[in-house]
Structure 1
């Protein structure tokens, strides 16, 4: 399974919605764009781009090191329609400063020096050490996951449904064969499917070995579907 540090880094570097919360400031309006892009530096710091006239930039402009605390709150929502669509949340707290001269005109780069991290997702809830976060790598499928899940959902419904046959006795009494299979999450280690019906439960299907890119993923999915068909 992916480590907590890897899962957190994947969320930070994903396109999941995020808000930057600064104590003492009014929270952003729901329609406020998430800070994008989000980039993680070599020491684990998180770089964000905000408009120069945003409250966050105004506050950080006058802040000294370790003076302005902030929390980056990330919410991960499944890209397909499924009950309980929120797949996870992550919180990255630390200290915010400006990095002038690196963003395009009208924008400012902000640096969030990480102090604490916490992730609560489909794997569980746990704190993450900043050093582990700095050393971790985002999942190689993160940039394609939403598109891949949507494709599986729209074009491979019958093959997904057949996966319940691989669960054996674990689905006894759940009626998995009569439930709708929805692809919920995808990473280099495997596919998570949510079976939706009278009962709702998740099943994880691991790949024979971790995949490194979309090409290897296609082969892994083909192997998985062939095993379910037989």
Structure 2
């Protein structure tokens, strides 16, 4: 499985929605605190692009030499329609400064020096040290995951449904109910619908929906490094389900 640092780094560099939470900016509109672009530097710092007149830029400018704490909150939503659609969240906490000269006129680049991070996703909840975040590798499929999942859902629904044959008697991931408690573990049954939920270099996660709702994870024989290797891994997976 990917480490907590890898999962957090991948979320930061994904297209998932993000908002920058800065003390004193509670009255700002959410869209004013959403960076236009984000990237991670060589030392693990997070660069965030904002309009020059945004509340976040004004706050960082006025802080000058004082440390301005901030939290980048990322929400990861499944790109296909499925119950319990939020796949996870990550919080990257640190100190915010302006970096003049890195953005085009009318924009400003902000630098978030990472102090700590947390991730709460389909794998569980974990904390991440800044050194681990800086060293972590981004999943090679992150730039293509949305279109790949949507393609699997739209063009390979029968093959996705066939993955039920691989479940056997294994228990599945427990999903939260409305009251916050956990459903009992389930296995496949009549009327279950298979929806591709998440994809990374280690495997495919599928959410089975119907009377019960549960997740099943299908690991690849070896981690994939690119789309070509992913195609071969998916062909092997579908072939195993068909026999």
SS at 1:62 equivalent? helix
Aligned to 1:218: 231
Number of residues paired by the alignment? 230
Instruction: Name the CA shift for 1:167/1:175 in 2 (closer, same or farther; >3 Å).
Output: closer
Which range moves more in the overlay, 220-229 or 36-45?
Answer: 36-45
Aligned to 1:8: 8
Taking structure 1 as the reference length, the TM-score comes to: 0.96
Aligned to 1:37: 37
Residue among 176, 181, 190 paired with 2:203: 190
Aligned to 1:113: 113
* Paired residues of 1:93 and 1:115 also in contact (CA < 8 A): yes
Deviations 1:25-73 (A, max 9, x none): 1254244473132111111100000000001101111224561100000
4+ long deviations beyond 3 Å: 30-33, 171-177
Aligned to 2:55: 55
* Paired residues of 2:21 and 2:33 also in contact (CA < 8 A): no
* Paired residues of 1:65 and 1:95 also in contact (CA < 8 A): no
Deviations 1:174-207 (A, max 9, x none): 4434200000000000000000000000000000
Taking structure 2 as the reference length, the TM-score comes to: 0.91
Provide the rounded CA distance (Å) in 1 between the counterparts of 2:163 and 2:104. 48
Instruction: Name the CA shift for 1:173/1:88 in 2 (closer, same or farther; >3 Å).
Output: closer
1:169 deviates by: 1.3
Matches within 5 A, 1:11-22: 11-22=11-22
* Paired residues of 1:176 and 1:195 also in contact (CA < 8 A): no
Provide the rounded CA distance (Å) in 2 between the counterparts of 1:210 and 1:134. 22
Provide the rounded CA distance (Å) in 1 between the counterparts of 2:162 and 2:224. 22
Which range moves more in the overlay, 14-23 or 174-183?
Answer: 174-183
Aligned to 2:214: 201
Provide the rounded CA distance (Å) in 1 between the counterparts of 2:4 and 2:64. 31
Instruction: Name the CA shift for 1:75/1:27 in 2 (closer, same or farther; >3 Å).
Output: farther
* Paired residues of 2:20 and 2:33 also in contact (CA < 8 A): no
Instruction: Name the CA shift for 1:97/1:194 in 2 (closer, same or farther; >3 Å).
Output: same
Aligned to 2:99: 99
Which range moves more in the overlay, 138-147 or 24-33?
Answer: 24-33
Provide the rounded CA distance (Å) in 1 between the counterparts of 2:156 and 2:28. 39
SS at 2:63 equivalent? coil
What is the alpha-carbon root mean square deviation over aligned residues?
1.5
Provide the rounded CA distance (Å) in 1 between the counterparts of 2:27 and 2:223. 40
